[in-house]
Amino acid sequence: MTSLPAVSLVSPAGKRAAILELATEIERRGFSGIACPSLGGAMALCVSLAHVTHTIRFWTSIQPIYLQHASEAAGTASHIAEVSGGRFSLGLGVSHGPVHDRLQVAVGRPLSDTRDYVAGVRASGFDGPVVLATLRDKMLDLSLEVADGAVWANASRSHMGGQLARIPAEGREGFFLGNMIPTVIDDDVDAARAVNRKTLTGYVRLPNYRNYWKSAGYVEEMEAIETALAERRFDDVPTLMSDRWLDDCTLSGSVDRVRDGLDAWREAGITTPIAVMSSTSGGQAKAIQELFAAYA
């Protein structure tokens, strides 16, 4: 039987009861997990998931470390883990510069701050799995040192083998390896790609992501985007995202194309590919229903 991916689930205001019903359907259909991004309150959603689901794993992907004291995060995480029977993992990360600016959050050094935060969570009593948001090698190395797993977002599949080679074979047993993959199912692959281009427009504005994609071999695309941003040609940015680059870090197209792509991520070493669903004809719920149909 084909292994089903995990599913990213956001809980927007006014739709939370419907999202919890959707979560129970994700569990009933046998998907491998639920990832809860910081949009809409990841920890709050996980508290509810602990009560309405019974077997499926779930985790924050991610809870930003600068938005909550480590002791408070540990207390909530411990509660979720206990109520869920140990199905919860605490995914932590630094989030992004625009979020910090919007919330006027003072930040320090991502690596040392993350190390200290994990230590604080452990010292405050949370003994469940901790997963770190990872992009480049130094954060992956830190996750191997202090955590129980790593989760990427928008990673390049062609680059993944080189990064995963940093993990000793004996260190992979039980170590969570996930990637949040923007995914659109539509037989019109160009229409699906257009949605994923829109999704990634915000990410290509971030220097840390551009530097990552340069290291993955997309120097020409990233430098062209940097020039467009510097010249304030913002409408040109999506046109500079090549199909080659887009198809390396997102999934677009027919059911078969998307299912094959998720399988390819497993073959690349990501044991838990996470479908971050969008649709050409609706919102999150419609997109997840399209994923259900793909695995019916």
Q: Report domain extents, the chain.
A: 6-197+249-294
Supply the pLDDT for residue 1. 45
Cut 0.85: pTM above it: yes
Task: Kindly report, residue by residue over 109-123, the tens digit of the pLDDT.
Answer: 999 999 999 999 999
What distance in Å separates the CA atoms of residue 65 and residue 73, rounded to the nearest whole number? Answer: 9
Q: Which residue has the tokens 């191997």?
A: 144
Check residue 3 and give its pLDDT. 87
Q: Considering only the top CATH level, what class is 6-197+249-294?
A: alpha beta
Report pLDDT for 250. 98
| pLDDT recorded at residue 56 | 98
Q: Residue 2's pLDDT is what?
A: 64
Could you say which residues of the chain have pLDDT below 50? 1
Asked if 275 contacts 264 with a C-beta cutoff of 8 angstroms, the reply is no
What string of DSSP letters covers the chain?
A: -PPPPEEE----TT-HHHHHHHHHHHHHTT-S-EEE-STT-HHHHHHHHHHH-SS--EEES-EEGGGS-HHHHHHHHHHHHHHTTS-EEEEEE---HHHHHHHT-----HHHHHHHHHHHHHHTT--S-EEEE--SHHHHHHHHHH-SEEEEES--HHHHHHHHTTS-GGG-TT-EEEEEEEEEE-S-HHHHHHHHHHHHHHHHTSHHHHHHHHHTT-HHHHHHHHHHHHTT-GGGGGGGS-HHHHHHHSEEESHHHHHHHHHHHHHTT-SEEEEEEE-SSS-HHHHHHHHHHHT-
